[in-house]
Structure 1
Amino acid sequence: MIKNSVGIWAFGPAVTRFVPPGYHNEVADEPMVEKTERVAGGLSDLLEGLEYHYPGEINEDNADEVLRILSAHEMDLPVIAAGLHPDPTYAMGAFINPDDALRRQGIDTLRRGIDLCSEIGANFIIWPGAEGYNYTFQRPYAEIWRRFVEGVAELTDHANEKGVKVFLEHKNSEPAMKILMQNIGMTLFTIQKVNALGVDTTNLQVNMDWQHLIMNGENLAEYADLLAAEHKLGHQHGNDGWGTFDDDNVVGTNFFMQTLELAQTLQDTGYGEEGEIIGFDLYPYTEDQIAAVRRAILQWEFVWDLARKIDRDALCEAKNRADALAGQKAVYAALGMDEGYETEIVGRRKEARAERRSEA
């Protein structure tokens, strides 16, 4: 089984602008060490790791104690994510902040986050949620892209020196209304531009947050296959949603078939063979937090096992002919729709017709 993890932010107060105290206000003041103990105690039978944002959730002051608790539950901390977006200091971004001193301060903070990754053996996610704009005529576009790319390049170069992989994670909106790195194409553009600055981008890869792709209409399996072919598929943040907002719902609740095809694609591209893991990025608004994450893990494992049942020869033959119906037949056979099902349905339909005629 592929190693898994979940973001500790799934277990916070679940604040929204309509419910400022949060749906889970009871944990609003819960210290991170106690939160880690609560989550590890409730999920360590299914979960192998927890992810944290730096510096708000994990930092030099609490890392040792957090790691001690994780170790006691046979868990680890595989990924740290850049976490400047909740800090109003960086409302105008860190990489693209118009104040050069704040920009320097922000990048230096993230450099220290990479240092912490190096010390504990974690990798680093850059999710540039505040690197964008809210209005037309607000920003000099080419200039802020230059500053953004140069910031990513500096952090990537520093990570290379520290032996840390960097995963870029795109999103189209929120907190900035128009995030610069808003789709997979612009993520690959960013990697290309960093490489053009002379920085080794071998370990600058992509974290696929599934709902972020779904919001863009980006087919999960297509982009997983593309990224794997380019050796850029570094990490996953599993979730689901309705497709218009970053719902971060339980896996397999809305886009089930896309999730199933993603599982099949990850299997066929050898995801996990180089140490990649399946992370989960969830945000249980009104649900019990531990129960929601447990359900997400179990449903993903179920989807993964279903994907293994798909007849690869039949699927490959269908794809080679671009035969959509044959492809669907191979998938539905794995779901239990065998050859005898059509015969059964035909028989039931005949019985129903005969019954209706007899009642007429």
Structure 2
Amino acid sequence: KDPEIRKQAVNYTFECVEMARKLDCKTLNLWPGQDGYDYVLQSNIALERRYLMENIREVAKAAPDINFSLEYKPKEPRNFCFMARASDTLLLAKETALDNVGVTIDTGHALVGGENVAESIVILQEYGRKLFHMHFNDNYGHWDDDMIIGSVHFPLFVETLFWLKETNYTGWLSMDQYPYREDGQGALRESVAFLQMIESRLTDEVMQELRDLMSRGNAVESQRWLRRTFFK
């Protein structure tokens, strides 16, 4: 609401742009977690969403050499975040009318929002190839626990990597985890190893098997395939 605070946020983002250039970093991830509200009748939703879009557009238009990837999250630290889902974040990105504004999927945020990560990937890629970045972690679906990948949602990550490959995603796969009580390096190594294990199984032959499975739409057959492929 405060124009001075908005100006500070824009200036800080410009500082991040300069740092990205010095590091030869082509993608800047933006997570405006404080942009939202906690109570009904607290926020002028239309106006404040417009402020958010206009400020993102101002920075991205001035830095066409940098991709700005908008990371969404349903809640925390606000009860309702303006960029809460893949679809509303895609709409905001497209409203800027800039090719260098896209979306980051954080798998944990998507799970908390009740999304199927694979479907979010397809939506972002089908509507303008707006998937710019991926953050990987796992949780139980009710909070952003940032757990080791595959510790809860094994099949989901198989489908996620399938659709990343199927839609020709060429960006980074980043780890976004907070192993508060676990060995941090070990947790990250397990997460990377888990994704590498799935990726190694997705050969051209297996990709075609999955396409055929999906075309038949037989859930029992698909579950049998998962068991025989990954648990034999």
TM superposition score normalised by structure 2: 0.92
Aligned partner (choices 173, 197, 217) of residue 302 of structure 1 = 197
- Aligned residue identity for 2:47: E
Deviations 1:203-239 (A, max 9, x none): 2111110000000111011111222233111111010
C-alpha distance in 1 between matches for 2:205 and 2:33 = 37
Are the structure 2 counterparts of residues 332 and 101 from structure 1 closer, same or farther at C-alpha, using a change threshold of 3 Å? same
Runs of 5+ unmatched residues, structure 2: none
Cα shift at 1:138: 1.3
Q: Give the 3-state SS of the residue equivalent to 1:146 in structure 2.
A: helix
Select 1:243's aligned residue among 141, 161, 167.
141
Report the residue type matching 1:136 in the other structure: V
For residue 55 of structure 2, what is the aligned residue in structure 1? 151
Give the greater-gyration-radius structure (CA).
1
Candidates 208, 218, 227, aligned match of 2:124: 227
SS at match of 1:202: coil
Change (3 A) 1:140 1:231: same
Match of 1:313 among 203, 208, 217: 208
The within-5 A match list for 1:81-92 is: none
Distance in 2 (alpha carbons) for counterparts of 1:268 and 1:332: 22
The CA distance in 2 between the partners of 1:279 and 1:179, in whole Å, is 22
How many residue pairs are counted as aligned between the two chains?
230
Q: Matches of residues 1-360 of structure 1 in structure 2 within 5 Å?
A: 98-122=1-25, 123-160=27-64, 163-195=65-97, 201-229=98-126, 230-272=128-170, 276-308=171-203, 311-337=206-232
What one-letter code is carried by the residue in structure 2 that aligns with 1:253? S
The normalised TM-score by structure 1 is 0.61
Mapped contact 1:237–1:279 kept (Cα < 8 A): yes
- In 2 relative to 1, CA 307–151 (structure 1 residues): closer, same or farther, beyond 3 Å? same
Matched residue type, 2:6: R
- Residue 284 to residue 336, structure 1, CA distance change in 2 (3 Å): closer
CA contact (8 A) 2:148 2:188 kept: yes
- The residue identity in structure 2 corresponding to 1:267 is K
Structure 1 unaligned spans of 5+: 1-97, 196-200, 338-360
Percent identity over the alignment is 27
Question: How far did 1:310 drift?
Answer: 6.8
The runs of at least 4 aligned residues of structure 1 exceeding 6 Å deviation read: none
- Is the contact made by 2:54 and 2:96 (CA closer than 8 Å) also made in structure 1? yes
1:166 corresponds to which letter in structure 2? Answer: F
Structure 1 residues 297 and 318: alpha-carbon distance in aligned structure 2, compared to 1, 3 A threshold: closer
Q: Distance in 2 between matches of 1:253 and 1:306?
A: 19
| Letter matched to residue 100 of structure 1 | P
SS at match of 2:124: helix
| C-alpha contact (below 8 Å) 1:263/1:304 kept by paired residues | yes
The aligned counterpart of 1:357 is none
Name the CA distance, whole Å, in 2 between partners of 1:210 and 1:235.
Answer: 11
Displacement of 1:309 after TM fit?
Answer: 8.1
Structure 2 letter corresponding to 1:302: M
